Structure 1
Amino acid sequence: MAVGLAALLAGCVNLQAITTYAESAAGVTGSTDAARRWRDSDKKLGERRLDGDVCPIGYTGRLPQAQFDAAYDDAEKLHRAMSAYFTALGELASDHLPDVAKTAAPSLEGIKGAGAKVSPEEEAAVKGLFALLQRGLDAYRHKKLRDLMASSHDDVARVLGLMQKLADVYAEGLRGERIQAVAFVRCEIGQSDLGDRYLGRRELARVKMDYDTELSAIAGYKAALQKLASDHDRIRSALEMDRDAMTRTLKALAATAKELDKARDSVARLSGG
């Protein structure tokens, strides 16, 4: 019984590691900040032009804004679905068992003290029932989690691949916006008097740095999606391993979860989040 309980507790820890990881995965896949930044690119450019500026700014030959809005709506649905999947994965792996399943079997001394006769067989049956609740529910959760990941793996991998392609689209759009913004600042510097040109050069350096930071955030976001696709396969394989091997494999997920959180926080700044 003691060996069985130790195995149970170790199993719960392993599954809880998946829950913790899934929370981070749901956060980064649910982020629409990069998509929103891409959608609002023309608006962002327009905000750079102030009253008194003489140089034009904006795109030529850009698709109508309605098409960007429609693309964003589609992307948002993808993000929500993938985030919901990882949230469900985390809930299934969580240790949210009924309270009775977390309770040790009673000693029955209180019942005996009240005058009830408890046979050794009945006492063993009570212990067996509590052990069944503990081991059975944990095994059920493990099996359901394994079945879910096996059936969903191909679709999850493909959708994460599509989200990586979208990250490339967002980055390409941002690079195009950077060209327009830098050209605008340079034009304004050329229209300024000598005293303002020093400040203009500082502004040019700041604009370039801001765009480099945003592009770096999108690159980190894409890398997180790539890592997530790989980890989904690792978790799926780990659920088929013995307890010790599973523990070693899933323990490494903690470091990756921090990477996902960092990518989510960085990309959130694209839309001021």
Structure 2
Amino acid sequence: MTGPTVRIRTHEMWTLLEHVDLVGLLRDALLGTDARRGNLTALDAGRLAFHDESTGQCGELPAGDLRALCMAGLAALAARLLLTDAVITAGIVGPRRSTQWQLGVISRCVPNVSHVAVFSADRTEEPAVDPTVLHRLELDGIGLSVAASVADAVLGATLVVALGRTGEQIGYDQLARGSLMVDTAGQRPADELREGVAERLSAGDLAILLSNHVNRRVDFDEIRLVELTDSELLRELETALAHRLVGTAMRLGIGILDKNGATS
């Protein structure tokens, strides 16, 4: 069964973020309580097609934005699960496009954040932070600084999120005690960092902690590392997120609706 297709662009994904409980959705998907219906297939021009065979619901989304939003949500979930209730300072490093999503999600989904430092290696003439993202940070009372290097961005941060290649690896000695680093880059962190942290966790480990209701907050004198590299699980989470975004877009009339059916 095939129904109309809703085509979602980047700015519409930002609108949808206001109507979706991103962290709750990913939590339920990790626990297996969210219906992971449908499948994703690659199209040209960096887009993905979503199709739910049970309902005929179809959509198209930008692949890079879907992955970045999913990773940002997982980083927020890890922070809420593993950091204490103390004030959080964050350091975000990676490609500019991914850092925008992480900043947007942190402001919406991570409580007690007082300041964020951001470093993007691929920034050219564009501002480091989009005006709309900056406005949201200001509304939430979150300070922002644009760092000149990876080392400056992570200095003293209790939450560090590495989103992609920056030309610099984060070393163990650069991280503050009592901090959590979430690596979504899909590349192996420095060996001395992986060997020095108190614990390394995966997305699957987060699911186990959630299902067992285990309190494993980061102690004041340790560093923990979450590595989001399980491609099969991440694809399932992206599918669950696409399902929710497409359904919400159709319900609210967001995006471009093509009543002629899904793209083949």
Select the structure with the greater relative contact order (CA < 8 A; seq sep ≥ 6): 1
Is TM-score (shorter-chain normalized) higher than 0.5? Answer: no
Greater strand share, structure number: 2
Which TM-score band applies after superposition, normalised by the shorter structure? under 0.3
Using the size of structure 2 for normalisation, the TM-score is 0.22
